A and B are shown apart, each in its own frame.
Chain A
């Protein structure tokens, strides 16, 4: 039985299982929000999701788009460029294995592919957070 949440989990597991990425982002990979005191981590969020339906299978495939980004506190002195590059290396045109599905493609989204911005902390203007990564389109055929 295909479960859409398993696609989310597989993406988190793939990123969290990579030693190179974890060396760059040692506070780990999280869905939507990181825990307090994390300063170098990866965030995965669901941007949108669509189902494509055919007569004999409902749906034929699922197509979520994920925002995947490295987030680093400026004072943590991390290499966010390398972290974003590693995320891209792990995901771009690489298969994602999920029970109940067959991977069709994983690639950076054609529209709005990149994420890169700096955020200033509301409570302290001297604190800066760097965000860098991309929006990745995943197409998974339902078995």
Chain B
């Protein structure tokens, strides 16, 4: 185990949400971010010496980013889906590291930003079912 480069990250998507066939990598992306934040309720009482919280539900959401590639419109097709797909986020896809990932059902939104530079795409997602970390 070591700290790894993010250059070999990967974002994979299965529109059926079943994982069969296996999720396919979305091309021309260069960033993803996963947020796993749990709501915390303030239950501080008289006499407490500091604030006290109890956890609620974990919110799973995140963002994707990269460049528009006309060969792959997966991100926009995913945004059009009314049903959730299966999203798999891999920090490093090199041999021996591919088994480490987060995945779960998600709904996707997509944006494209077209200027005089290479058009950039971005996406946001939110959980549509339980998410897991592997292994």
Residues of A within 8 A of B (CB): 52-58, 60-61, 104, 110, 139
Q: Assess whether B118 is in contact with A55, with CB atoms less than 8 Å apart.
A: no
Q: Assess whether B11 is in contact with A139, with CB atoms less than 8 Å apart.
A: no
Given contacts A55-B8, A56-B27, contact A61 B118 (CB under 8 A): yes
Residues of B within 8 A of A57 (CB): 27-28
Known: A53-B30, A54-B29, A60-B28. 4 other contacts (CB 8 A): A55-B8, A55-B93, A56-B29, A57-B28
**Total interface residues on B, using CB and 8 Å?**
15
Residues of B within 8 A of A60 (CB): 28, 30, 67
Q: Which one of A56, A61, A110 lies within 8 Å of B25 (CB-CB)?
A: A56
A-B contact pairs, 27 of them (CB 8 A): A52-B67, A52-B118, A53-B7, A53-B30, A54-B28, A54-B29, A54-B66, A54-B67, A55-B9, A55-B10, A55-B11, A55-B25, A55-B30, A55-B66, A55-B93, A56-B10, A56-B25, A56-B27, A56-B28, A57-B27, A58-B7, A60-B28, A60-B30, A60-B67, A61-B118, A110-B116, A139-B118
Chain A interface, DSSP helix/strand/loop, else mixed: loop
Whose C-beta in chain B lies nearest to the C-beta of A107? Answer: B116
Residues of A within 8 A of B10 (CB): 55-56
B119 to chain A, nearest CB (A): 11
A105 to chain B, nearest CB (A): 9
Q: Assess whether B28 is in contact with A104, with CB atoms less than 8 Å apart.
A: no
A51 to chain B, nearest CB (A): 11
Residues of A within 8 A of B27 (CB): 54, 56-57
Residues of A within 8 A of B93 (CB): 55
